């Protein structure tokens, strides 16, 4: 009979240490000053999931698919019009299936000076996909986004920020500039794989700075995580204010099917107005920030 698998409390040190050290935060890449002497960098990002949340789960709910379509019909036009009005460039992380469903949407994103980054094939959960399949999906997604937009993606945000044991190796194979899926700091840092610096910049995320956790619900489960828009604005503003005070990075994650409703879009509008009141703020795409900190660190 095969030996029973050890429980975590039975693991020898080499087992738990190897798990911890597989992917780690390396050197801090926060610069002494941002581009053109700016005090703070602001990175606005949008995860353009649309229908892929329902498709990923193998669902057949026309209602949930229509919620995804709202992101295309209403959400993205509102976001892109606001970015144009405020003269801000942002990063859009796009599942390849979304790009295939709405190629003109992604072409508009690129045409208006924004960035399109990798966000999986169909918003799959990386840790639930076999390693070889995960690699193939990421490579196929990169080829698809390049074919649709004419621009090869240089950054990845894993779907649901789910990072498997092989994700970093695939990112290295793709030659990516940065990742934006992990949580080990407030400011940019270099990713280290099994003790080896990779040269890949991590632009860290956090659920606190994500719109979905405050507004999403599932009517078939006992989950009603709803927060008043005024409270969400206050949280985002406080996150920016402390980043500004520390001279760091403020990175915000939003979703076209979440933030753009009439009672919510003002959160982003008012937040941008607040940020613009502060001197020395650099609004930039994720790829621009990653390239800047990497050059400053001499990586």
pLDDT at 226: 79
The tens digit of pLDDT for each residue in 33-59 reads: 999 999 999 999 999 999 999 999 898
Residue 185 Ramachandran class (φ > 0 left, ψ -120 to 50 alpha, else beta): beta
pLDDT at 118: 98
User: 217-220 long-range contacts, Cβ below 8 Å, gap at least 24?
Assistant: none
pLDDT at 2: 66
Under-50 pLDDT residues of the chain: none
pLDDT at 222: 66
Global pTM value = 0.96
The tens digit of pLDDT for each residue in 126-146 reads: 999 999 999 999 999 999 999
Measured distance CA(86)–CA(123) in Å, rounded? 30
């Amino acid at each position: 009979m095969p030996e029973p698998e050890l429980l975590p409390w039975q693991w020898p040190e080499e087992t738990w240490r190897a798990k911890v050290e597989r992917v780690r935060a390396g050197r801090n890449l926060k610069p002494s000053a941002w581009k053109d002497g700016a005090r703070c960098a602001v990175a606005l990002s949008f995860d353009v999931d649309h229908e892929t949340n329902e498709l990923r789960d193998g669902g057949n709910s026309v209602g949930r698919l229509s919620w995804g379509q709202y992101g295309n019909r209403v959400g993205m036009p509102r976001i892109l019009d606001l970015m144009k009005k405020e003269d801000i460039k942002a990063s859009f992380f796009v599942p390849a299936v979304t790009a295939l469903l709405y190629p003109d949407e992604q072409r508009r994103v690129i045409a208006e000076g924004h960035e399109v980054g990798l966000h999986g094939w169909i918003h799959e959960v990386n840790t639930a996909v076999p390693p070889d399949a995960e690699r193939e999906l990421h490579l196929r997604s990169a080829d698809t986004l390049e074919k649709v937009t004419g621009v090869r993606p240089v950054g990845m945000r894993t779907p649901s920020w789910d990072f498997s044991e092989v994700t970093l190796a695939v990112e290295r194979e793709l030659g990516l500039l940065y990742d934006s899926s992990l949580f080990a700091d407030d400011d940019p840092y270099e990713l280290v794989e099994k003790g080896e610096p990779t040269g890949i910049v991590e632009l860290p995320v956090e659920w606190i700075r994500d719109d979905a956790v405050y507004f999403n619900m599932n009517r078939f489960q006992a989950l009603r995580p709803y927060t008043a828009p005024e409270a969400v604005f206050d949280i985002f503003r406080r996150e920016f204010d402390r980043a500004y005070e520390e001279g760091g990075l403020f990175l915000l994650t939003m979703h076209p099917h979440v933030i753009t409703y009439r009672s919510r879009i003002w959160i982003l509008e008012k937040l941008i107005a607040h940020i613009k009141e502060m001197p020395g703020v650099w609004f930039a795409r994720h790829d621009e920030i990653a390239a800047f900190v990497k050059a400053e660190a001499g990586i």
